[in-house]
Structure 1
């Protein structure tokens, strides 16, 4: 049997099944795809593909449907990513460029992916662990409290409070108070202990030390700042530095945006095991984040012994694909995840993607995810 013809038959089966959602027979392939051989020859090719595990017969007298292994071969070797149309590209760029802040741009990115693919979109907030410090602001509040505003290079804003006891020059001590910016901690407004001169100097030194550095580099940079300051400012500087590092490194702050969940209820999104397992998997945001992070390291997923080493590479396409059981998540055994990283200045700071049935339009989904990731990278703060 011709290897090229076998691949052509598999491509035709995948494309027809994705389009019709019905098992594909040899006669249909002959009529629709002009493969240039008889139905009997195509049946022989289909039997070989079935023996190799690329297609399966769901029930007697039915046509064939792709397996996870068949979809994988299709994605790795057969799928041709369709470029978006000029109107689609312009619509994406315009829609994202109109966002007013980080929350808005990520929400818009999710809605775009869901609309373009007709599936569920997942967009990770820029990881604080992968972010750098763009600017640090110190604002005295109520005399004895300091509002520390951390602005990352991805536009994310985090706000924390420090309680300050004593005065610079008198061995000031600090205590971190983790509260939302809108909820000022309680306590009396005693005589101010923080003067603008000291805060201005501390602010300038910490910002200068953090310029162009990632989280992993900040502790050492801040240690040098504390060591160079006069003893009266050192405790306050150490407290602010520790709070900034803890804030940027806090895994509890990782979160995602989901959009298009209602798309799962559409008839064409049918799952054999029902919708509940998929919805439950989507609710496990920590698990989803772990999957996206793992895909960055190995976009193709675990390979069985003797299986081809061919894989969809993040380096080449910028998009990773996990199909069915490759995700190793019970709720997503009938689903595929197509994801890409995004970030400014060529640095990946987070991931986004689309989740739908394994019977998805892979070329269209890959193109949509890749396009939104690229445009999102462009509109992020530089």
Structure 2
């Protein structure tokens, strides 16, 4: 994170008070309001002088001549830098998170609940993206003949996800068992995308050398026995209603809601700002580089890992006037919990 403006201790305390007061009230902050809460007993006149210096430094702006000051984007960035490493999750929030996510063994279910919990605690939008990876790799397949022209295909992934579908095929059980054995022995642990790619290559290359086994495997493959959406990024978004209450600009609200509905844009947004190699929570203030309509919004996010493997990402998205401490600690805690819970479920 870039180093913020170099300001003194008094300026830092007053800027922090302005940011936190504005986050809480949404109203421009005046010197009299700050003087009443100031621990050093500074007069309104002294505080006005400090606020003028902060304005000159680009950290405060005045929306109206007679109004108090509000933080600039640079002020929020500076404020977040001061929070780094100091914020702690409350016991109440920790209990909410633990109660919502305890006992989950499936990546996608964890992510779905995560978007809800992030929204609930931050009062903003919670976003979680689950991607394919080793946890969604093949554990085993099983084929069972149900009758004439009917075969049940059951596919189990390492995350514990079970998919089954009925195929229109007429193969004896002995050939179905042989096909399942071939796939399980050769492709257990492969991601589904890699499995399908390799199987298609084998079927094409060895077309002239088919034996009965490969004929059966091809028929099962062509009928979709190994199909699935596991390589797609599954996106969970919750809490758009939290933004409706605080957004006065109707046109900007419509643009924002449209963005949240377009799941691929949310994937692109998280992909633009979250690095799979990062260890800590990242706070991005001003998202216009990826989406111009989100210039005055903030993303607080982190990768979701199991061991060293990235399985997705999670984030809170909201206006610049948000409770950063709450959001940062929540994202950080859930990212760590993701690794712990999913590792224990193995």
TM-score using structure 1 length: 0.72
Superposition pairs for residues 1-382 of structure 1, below 5 Å? 2-34=7-39, 39-79=44-84, 81-97=86-102, 105-124=110-129, 126-128=130-132, 131-159=136-164, 164=169, 192=170, 194-214=171-191, 218=195, 231-238=211-218, 247=228, 250-251=231-232, 254-266=233-245, 269-272=246-249, 275-297=253-275, 314-315=278-279, 317=280, 319-326=281-288, 328-380=290-342, 381-382=345-346
1:301 alignment partner in structure 2: none
Going from structure 1 to structure 2, the CA distance change for 1:196 and 1:358 (only over 3 Å counts) comes to same
Going from structure 1 to structure 2, the CA distance change for 1:61 and 1:245 (only over 3 Å counts) comes to farther
Shift of 1:336: 1.9
What does the per-residue CA deviation read over 1:145-202, in whole Å, with 9 as the maximum and x for residues that have no partner?
54443333334444556555xxxxxxxxxxxxxxxxxxxxxxxxxxx3x233332233
Shift of 1:280: 1.8
Q: Which moved more, 1:369-378 or 1:14-23?
A: 369-378
Separation (CA, whole Å) in 2 of partners of 1:224 and 1:32: 71
Separation (CA, whole Å) in 2 of partners of 1:272 and 1:35: 39
Equivalent position SS for 1:204:
helix
Separation (CA, whole Å) in 2 of partners of 1:51 and 1:241: 67
Shift of 1:17: 0.8
- Considering only aligned residues, what root-mean-square deviation do their CA atoms show, in Å? 3.6
| Residues 16 and 79, structure 2, Cα contact 8 Å, conserved in 1 | yes
Shift of 1:104: 5.2
Equivalent position SS for 1:275:
helix
Going from structure 1 to structure 2, the CA distance change for 1:203 and 1:48 (only over 3 Å counts) comes to farther
What does the per-residue CA deviation read over 1:238-294, in whole Å, with 9 as the maximum and x for residues that have no partner?
56568577636653xx3322323332343xx24445532322221111101111222
Equivalent position SS for 2:95:
helix
Going from structure 1 to structure 2, the CA distance change for 1:248 and 1:264 (only over 3 Å counts) comes to closer
Equivalent position SS for 1:16:
helix
Instruction: Structure 2 unaligned segments of length 5 or more: list them.
Output: 1-5
Shift of 1:68: 2.0
Separation (CA, whole Å) in 1 of partners of 2:217 and 2:312: 30
Shift of 1:365: 0.9
Instruction: Structure 1 unaligned segments of length 5 or more: list them.
Output: 165-191, 299-312
Q: Which moved more, 1:109-118 or 1:221-230?
A: 221-230
Going from structure 1 to structure 2, the CA distance change for 1:25 and 1:73 (only over 3 Å counts) comes to same
Separation (CA, whole Å) in 1 of partners of 2:93 and 2:7: 39
TM-score using structure 2 length: 0.78
| Residues 99 and 108, structure 1, Cα contact 8 Å, conserved in 2 | no
Going from structure 1 to structure 2, the CA distance change for 1:297 and 1:372 (only over 3 Å counts) comes to closer
Separation (CA, whole Å) in 2 of partners of 1:144 and 1:81: 64
| Residues 272 and 290, structure 2, Cα contact 8 Å, conserved in 1 | no
Q: How many residue pairs end up in the alignment?
A: 333
Equivalent position SS for 1:336:
strand
